[in-house]
Amino acid sequence: MFNNISKIILAAVLAATPLAAQNNKEIKGKDYSGESRQTSVSGDQAMLKGLFSYGAAIYQFQLPAATDRIKARLSFKNLKNKWLKIYVYNYGTAYDDLSIRNKRLGPNWRLWEATNSDGLWESRSPKYIYTTSYDGRIDYLGPQNIFKILLYADGGIPFVSDGRFIIEQIMLEYSTGESLLPDIVTSKDVWIEGNFMLVRGVGRSKNRIDAPGYEAMPKLTALRLAKVDAYKKLAVALKKIPLSGGTAAIPGSQLRSTRYISEAEVEIILEVPLASLHEKK
């Protein structure tokens, strides 16, 4: 019903916009995070060892909230000709299938690629990962806009069969839509939070039906009116319609929260990914 109302009130069509310029960020191998395991500093580099169980070198990149897509490049030495696995942290709800999920890691770590090369790895499958999905399943930036990448070394007999790697440098190439975002009119009911634009809608039902089977009708009516109110505020905030109302094309949104103030009044919060306000190519 939520999607149907959205289609009736406002057509959910993205505005076509060219992709923004590419940006780069680099981290030296020695600058791994405290979450890492079996990893030590060696000059400007890091030594990653699998030892008996496994090793994990974790790197964190602070990125702009409007980061749209990311590709990665790694400079390293493969000392034992073993497979190096590259994972990324998903703050969303999507996990890898059980057939490929690494049981030693938390379920939020998703496999990007694996390589047994030596010297240089560049992401190819996929070449780019998009940071946000409309349904909340994918969110590679999280509330603090921190992109996390994990380099995984398999365990074995130390110095014999475990994975051993010298991590020299990790480089990200990413695009942002900051300069391409529309001019958003914020207010007490429309604000930016992390990677999302949030919109508050309130609905009040004036009718009450005192008949068996219709007890829930005031709540349902209030919820429908709250959604209509939020869609209108969203369109106004994007300068697509005037305050007096109208119809317009807006980006897709999803319901973040619902709060019933009374039996006949409800408040909802819609969220719109900032990345959805420009076209991804």
CB 191 within 8 A of CB 35: no
| Residue 203 to residue 260: CA distance in whole angstroms | 10
pTM of the model: 0.62
Please write the tens of the pLDDT for every residue from 136-183. 788 999 989 999 999 999 999 999 999 999 999 999 999 876 555 677
Helix (H) or strand (E) holding 89: strand 84-89
Write the CB contacts of 225 (distance below 8 Å, at least 6 apart in sequence). 203, 204, 205
Residue 209 predicted with pLDDT over 80 = no
Q: What is the pLDDT of residue 248?
A: 79
Residue 118: other Cβ atoms inside 10 A: 13
Domain edges within the chain: 2-15+179-277, 22-176
CB 250 within 8 A of CB 212: no
CB 32 within 8 A of CB 59: yes
Residue 280 corresponds to which amino acid? K
Q: What is the pLDDT of residue 281?
A: 42
Structure tokens at 144: 């603090």
Confidence of residue 19 (pLDDT cuts 50, 70, 90): very low
Closest CA to 272 of 196, 192, 195: 196
Count CA within 13 A, CB hemisphere, residue 168. 11
In the chain, what percentage of residues exceed pLDDT 70?
Answer: 84
Closest CA to 94 of 39, 34, 135: 135
User: What value does the mean pLDDT take over residues 53-79?
Assistant: 94
**Which residues are registered as beta bridge partners of 132?**
139
Give me the phi and psi of 13, to 5 degrees please.
-125, 130
Closest CA to 161 of 48, 55, 52: 52
Q: What is the pLDDT of residue 134?
A: 64
Residue 13 predicted with pLDDT over 50 = no
User: What value does the mean pLDDT take over residues 83-87?
Assistant: 98
Confidence of residue 279 (pLDDT cuts 50, 70, 90): very low
Please write the tens of the pLDDT for every residue from 211-228. 555 557 888 899 999 999
| Residue 119 to residue 125: CA distance in whole angstroms | 18
Ordered alpha helix ranges (H), the chain: 2-9, 217-237
Please write the tens of the pLDDT for every residue from 35-54. 999 999 999 999 999 999 99
Assigned CATH for 22-176:
2.60.120.260
| Residue 70 to residue 17: CA distance in whole angstroms | 18
Q: What is the pLDDT of residue 22?
A: 74
Sheet (strand 84-89) strand order: 54-62, 146-154, 84-89, 109-115
Write the CB contacts of 100 (distance below 8 Å, at least 6 apart in sequence). 111
Q: What is the pLDDT of residue 4?
A: 42
Q: What is the pLDDT of residue 145?
A: 92
Give me the phi and psi of 245, to 5 degrees please.
110, 180
Count CA within 13 A, CB hemisphere, residue 261. 13
CB 267 within 8 A of CB 259: yes
Structure tokens at 254: 């999803």
Confidence of residue 11 (pLDDT cuts 50, 70, 90): very low
Determine the distance from the C-alpha atom of residue 139 to the mean position of all C-alpha atoms in its chain, rounded to a whole number: 2
